[in-house]
Chains A and B, each alone.
Chain A
Amino acid sequence: MHRGGGGARWGDEHGGVMNLKAFFVASLQTALDLSIATPEDILKHVTPDVLATYLPRPLWARLFTACLGAPKVDAQLVVETIGVPNLCEHVPAQLIWACIADIGNRSLGKQVDEEPLVLAPKSLTPPPPPGSSRSKPLTAPPPDVIEKPALVTPSKLGPNIPAPSTMPAGTGTSSLADIVAELEAEGSRDERSITPPSRVRTPTQQRFRQSQTGGGGIGRLAQNNPRRPQAGIPSVTPARTARRGETEVEAGEGEPETSVGRGEDWRSSIAVEEEQLVEWQASEETLTTTDDLETRKR
Chain B
Amino acid sequence: MMESGLENQIFQPGDVLAHATPDVLANHLPPDLLSRVLQASLAAGSMTPERVLETVTPELLARHLPHEVLWACIAAAAARAGVTNTVVS
Interface residues, chain A, with chain B CB atoms under 8 Å away: 43, 47-49, 51-53, 57-58, 60-65, 67-68, 70-75, 78
What are the 10 closest A-B residue pairs judged by CB atoms, nearest first? Answer: A64-B22, A52-B31, A60-B26, A61-B26, A67-B47, A52-B35, A48-B35, A48-B38, A61-B23, A52-B34
Closest to A59 in B: B26
Instruction: Note all chain A residues with C-beta closer than 8 A to B34.
Output: 48, 51-52, 60
Closest to A50 in B: B35
A68 touching B47, Cβ below 8 Å: yes
**What is the predominant secondary structure among interface residues of chain B facing chain A?**
helix
Counting chain A CB atoms within 10 Å of each CB, the highest count among B31, B36, B49 belongs to B31
Q: How far is the CA of A64 from the CA of B26 in the complex (A)?
A: 8
B38 touching A68, Cβ below 8 Å: no
Closest to B41 in A: A73
* B45 CB within 8 Å of chain A: yes
Instruction: Please report the total number of B residues contacting A with Cβ < 8 Å.
Output: 24
B27 touching A61, Cβ below 8 Å: yes
Q: Knowing A51-B35, A68-B17, say if A75 contacts B42 (CB, 8 Å).
A: yes
Q: How far is the CA of A67 from the CA of B42 in the complex (A)?
A: 9
A51, A53, A63, A68: the one contacting B49 at CB < 8 Å is A68
What is the distance, in angstroms, from B28's C-beta to the closest C-beta of chain A?
9
Q: How far is the CA of A262 from the CA of B44 in the complex (A)?
A: 148
Instruction: Note all chain A residues with C-beta closer than 8 A to B26.
Output: 57-58, 60-61, 63-64
Q: Contact string, B45-78, partner A, CB cutoff 8 A, digits 1/0?
A: 1111100100000000000000000000000000
How many pairs of A and B residues are in contact by the CB < 8 Å rule?
A: 72
Closest to B36 in A: A48
What is the distance, in angstroms, from A34's C-beta to the closest C-beta of chain B?
24
Instruction: Note all chain B residues with C-beta closer than 8 A to A78.
Output: 38, 42
Q: Knowing A49-B35, A51-B35, say if A64 contacts B25 (CB, 8 Å).
A: yes
What is the distance, in angstroms, from B9's C-beta to the closest C-beta of chain A?
21
Closest to B33 in A: A52
Q: Contact string, B1-41, partner A, CB cutoff 8 A, digits 1/0?
A: 00000000000000001000111011100011011111101
Q: List 19 A-B contacts (CB under 8 A).
A: A48-B38, A51-B38, A53-B31, A57-B27, A61-B21, A63-B22, A63-B26, A63-B38, A64-B22, A64-B25, A64-B37, A65-B23, A67-B38, A67-B41, A68-B52, A70-B46, A71-B46, A72-B45, A72-B46
B17, B22, B47: the one contacting A73 at CB < 8 Å is B47
Closest to B38 in A: A48
